[in-house]
Structure 1
Amino acid sequence: MNSEYLFPRRLGRRDFLKMSAASAAALVAPRFASAESSAPVKIGEGKWTYTLDESWGQLPEGMSWGFGCGIVVDAKDRVYVTSRSTSPCVAVFGTDGKLEETWSKDFGNGYDPEQVKATAHCVYWSKEPAGEFLYFTENVAKDAAGQPNLGKRIYKTDLKGKVLYTIGNVETEDATHQKFTWTNPTDVAVAPNGDIYTVDGYGSQIVSRFDKNFKHLKTIGGRAPKDAPKGKDAPHGTFNTCHGVWVNTLKSEPEIYIADRANGRYEVYDLDLNYKRTIAGDFARNPCCFYQHDGHIYIPDLGGLVAILDKDDNCVARLGDGKGVKKDEFQTGQKDKFAAPHAMCVDSKGNLYVLEWVPYGRVRKFTHTPA
């Protein structure tokens, strides 16, 4: 790479103000709002009631979301969104819901926006002793010669996208670049002691543990034998799309939660990656990843819902269940239902931000409005 930034090209509020009147208006007027529903759109009930904020998360004319990849919130409640789009590659929203920055990328002899779009996947926010950081996960994609040589990397950056460390598919190793064999990584999580956990969820199905300096400590996992049981009864320590990983700190000792998506279960391990238990039920259909807030774990699920677990793994809420709704109904309606939640986060006030694996991203904010 010949740039110190993962996304060196970016636009800010001044740039947006220079755009056309139509584009500027799109920043403050919700393009998808309609007069058909004057009543607020709500999901959940009781303590777990949320109201859709239809004015949040709008993009200027000329920009659009792609398939929803990752969404995180920083310590100041700024929201970072990645999707499979060339414009923007990353969008950053302020606490007022207005777009503050968009990031794109052009290394010249590195990845162009189309290659970024092809490899984009999850992003993880981490508060560490040295500050706040982002971990970007890249999927595999084909290069110009048609070979699967792009992606397969994880970047650690600061909040401006300055690359601090790269691990995975790198050409040469040095103090900030390390080779590691992933075939299609999907997620990252960081433990309180700085250890880093990764999942190769679209590829080899391995789960790996590194120390805070990316020194490899342990790898488990892989696919189950073809004749082994499937689903929730699949052999523990094997996975079928281990898509998401999280370090749950709600109990006396931290635990590693793994979203074993195609098996419809959450697998729980200790910090040394020894199996502890399995969580399954009708709320775990195709779980993608996890987010922890205020004593609970939130799980976006491609099966059309967001599940919330308490510290004892009990499901206390199933939000926006869109099971059975036709896919083409979500773009113009079904606002109180989810199509395919791929990632989510929760801000300091308990508000939810959910994006979905649909071609238009469907990035939405749900304000916490407990009944």
Structure 2
Amino acid sequence: MTIKNVLSPKSNLDPHGLIVGHNDFKYRVDTQWGALNPKDVAVENCHDFAMDSRGRIIMVTDNPSNNFIVYNKDGKLLDSWGTEYPGAHAIEVVHENGEDFIYVVDSGWISNRNWDGISTDAWDSPFNKVIAQSGFVSKLTIDGRLIFTIGHPQTCGAYKPEQPFRPTDVAVAANGDIYITDGYGSDFLLQYDCQGRYIRHWGGHDNHNSDLNLTNTHGISIDHRDPADPHLIVSSRADHVMKLFSLNGDYRSSIATPGAYIGGAVFKDDHFYAPVCWSHIDGANADDSGFISIFDRDNRVVSNPGGTEPMYVDGVLQPMQSTWDVFNHCHGVCVDDDENLYVGQWRANQSYPIKLERV
């Protein structure tokens, strides 16, 4: 099937007020919902969101002046703080024993004081805008006080020192076990207990059974839709697929997402929502071609806000792509109690989050 772009990339269309999505999942675009004065509260990339038990929306950004930005659902700024997480990339808020806690992922990318002012994709250059160090995952109180940090797995013997560790996402099970995707490092999925003690890891690239391989494993969530059968859903973003594993690491099945470099799942009732950073067009990940995919109880795509309508032929999902009308690169998504969406973006000209209001 050939898909034609509805609009050219970076068109002059103002998407504010545009209706996007398909079937029962359509949304009105509000581009001004999270807009702030960058002189006061700056962002670099709006990487991820979580909602706490008070209904506050907490966003992480890798801007060095403030890593956490806290909004209410009306888009009003409530707080901003944190400079300790220069590669802030993902956030999970977990309610434990009557109290909220933050798990924050720092992917290891830091702003380069020797940046040449030009290079943004020369990842191995000492003059690139960001350069790599080892990442980490920290558990914090809801107001940002550090409890503990999980660092490079070489410290527990799980990695060799030369294996990079640059984590991308975290999920916490009901028993407190912590699952971390190393999607910018060595592409393993690591499991720790509630005190940050290593249990096991799996994934990587060199398994005889390719179902176990992970490539740019960007997001992870725990599917609790069947309370008797909680399991992991993990994005293997570069392979355009999401993989299901037991909580002990046994492979179960895959969900193909053709054409979509898809991130981690965010669950709301019977559905889950996943950000797509790029569409696969003409053999490559195309710039400014993100959208959101929404999946039903059977893990079938029912809507692509900002993307083409999902189509199945003989039960097989056909390639999806952006319609170029709203997003640059979708990186994080949050769903509120009214089923509105809040979307954060990577490499989107330092723009603030966009709200998609359910219609």
Aligned-residue Cα RMSD (Å) equals 3.0
Deviation at 1:96, TM superposition (A): 2.8
Distance 1:170 1:183 in 2: 7
Q: What is the aligned counterpart of 2:236 among 253, 260, 276? A: 260
Q: Is the 8 A contact 2:223 2:233 kept in 1?
A: yes
Equivalent residue, structure 2, for 1:295: 270
Query: Where does residue 93 of structure 2 map in the other structure?
Result: 125
Q: How far 1:84 sits from its partner (Å)?
A: 2.3
Contact 2:307 2:323 in 1 (8 A): no
Q: Percent identity?
A: 25
Which residue type is aligned with residue 36 of structure 2?
L
Structure 1 residues 92-103: aligned runs within 5 Å: 92-103=70-81
1:257 alignment partner, SS class: strand
Q: TM-score, normalised by structure 1?
A: 0.73
Aligned position for 1:91: 69
2:246: which partner in 1?
270
The one-letter code matched in structure 2 to 1:349 is: D
Q: Which has the higher strand share?
A: 2
**Equivalent residue number for residue 23 of structure 1:** none
Shift of 1:151: 4.3
Indicate if the aligned counterparts of 2:56 and 2:73 stay in contact, CA closer than 8 A: yes
- What is aligned with 1:160? 143
Shift of 1:99: 0.5
Separation in 1, partners of 2:204, 2:219: 15
What is the alpha-carbon distance in structure 2 between the residues aligned to residue 362 and residue 169 of structure 1?
31
Q: Deviations over 1:211-269 (max 9, x none)?
A: 222222211111137xx8xxxxx811111111111101112301101100001100100
On the 8 A contact 1:167/1:180 being kept in 2, the answer is no
| Amino acid in structure 2 at the alignment position of 1:285 | A
Q: What are the Cα deviations for residues 65-87 of structure 1, in whole angstroms up to 9, with x where unaligned?
A: 21221111112221111222133
Alpha-carbon distance in structure 2 between the residues aligned to 1:157 and 1:38 = 37
- Residue aligned with 1:236, SS: helix
CA distance in 2, matches of 1:180, 1:237: 18
Shift of 1:120: 2.1
CA distance in 2, matches of 1:72, 1:288: 15
SS of equivalent residue, structure 2 residue 24: helix
Identify the residue that residue 194 of structure 1 maps to in structure 2: 176
Q: 5+ unaligned residues in a row in structure 1: which ranges?
A: 1-35, 106-110, 229-233, 327-333
Unaligned runs of 5+ in 2: 1-12, 115-125, 279-289, 309-320
Q: Distance in 2 between matches of 1:61 and 1:312?
A: 42
Q: Is the 8 A contact 1:342 1:356 kept in 2?
A: yes
AA partner of residue 121 (structure 1): H
- Give, in angstroms, the shift of residue 40 of structure 1: 2.6
Q: Is the 8 A contact 2:16 2:29 kept in 1?
A: no
* Superposed displacement of residue 169, structure 1: 4.3
Aligned pairs (5 A) from 1:1-371: 40-62=17-39, 63-105=41-83, 116-117=85-86, 119-141=87-109, 150-169=133-152, 183-224=165-206, 235-251=210-226, 252-282=228-258, 285-303=260-278, 304-321=290-307, 323=321, 334=325, 337-358=326-347, 359-369=349-359
| Structure number with higher helix proportion | 1
TM-score scaled by length of structure 2: 0.76
Instruction: Report the count of equivalent residues.
Output: 302
Give per-residue Cα distances to partners, 1:179-224, cap 9 Å, x unaligned. 9756111110011222111110011111111222222221111113
How far apart are the structure 2 equivalents of 1:89 and 1:356? 15
Determine helix, strand or coil for the equivalent of 1:319. Answer: coil
Contact kept? 2:134, 2:165, Cα under 8 Å = no
Q: Provide the C-alpha distance between the structure 2 equivalents of 1:87 and 1:144, rounded to a whole number of angstroms.
A: 14
Q: Residue by residue, what CA displacement relative to the aligned partner does 1:90-133 show, whole Å, maximum 9, x if unpaired?
A: 1111233211111132xxxxx5xxxx43x221111222234211
**Gap change, CA 1:272 and 1:324, over 3 Å in 2:** closer
CA-CA distance at 1:60 after TM superposition: 2.3
Distance 1:93 1:204 in 2: 34
C-alpha separation between the residues in 2 aligned to 1:57 and 1:289?
22
2:261 aligned counterpart, secondary structure: coil
